[in-house]
């Protein structure tokens, strides 16, 4: 799973791609797409900020 930051609320599943036989190009495209969709900053001071459901320790932080 690609989890782009401690306050991210979405993640990208690379395991499903690997299990389906995706090649290097498909994996690279998924990685690039995930990074391109990442919002700038963490948004913790934004009025609409929502704390992610999982704590940092649950994602390996």
C-alpha separations of 42 from 18, 20, 28, 35, 53 in Å? 29, 32, 24, 14, 15
The answer to whether the Cα torsion of 35, 40, 41, 42 is positive or negative is negative
Q: Mean of the pLDDT values across residues 14-22?
A: 95
Residue 22 confidence class, pLDDT cut points 50, 70, 90? very high
What pLDDT, on the 0 to 100 scale, is given for residue 61? 59
Say if residue 46's pLDDT is above 70: yes
Least confident of 8-17, 26-35, 40-49: 40-49
What angle (nearest 5°) sits at the alpha carbon of residue 61, between those of residues 4 and 3? 20
Say if residue 24's pLDDT is above 70: yes
The most distant pair of C-alpha atoms in the chain lies apart, rounded to whole Å, by 42
What pLDDT, on the 0 to 100 scale, is given for residue 29? 97
User: What are the boundaries of each domain within the chain?
Assistant: 14-59
């Amino acid at each position: 799973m690609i989890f782009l930051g401690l306050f991210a609320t979405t993640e990208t599943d690379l395991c499903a791609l690997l299990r389906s036989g995706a090649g290097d190009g498909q994996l690279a495209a998924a990685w690039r797409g995930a990074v391109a969709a990442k919002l700038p900053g963490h948004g913790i001071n934004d009025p609409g900020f929502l704390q992610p459901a999982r704590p940092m320790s649950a994602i390996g932080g």
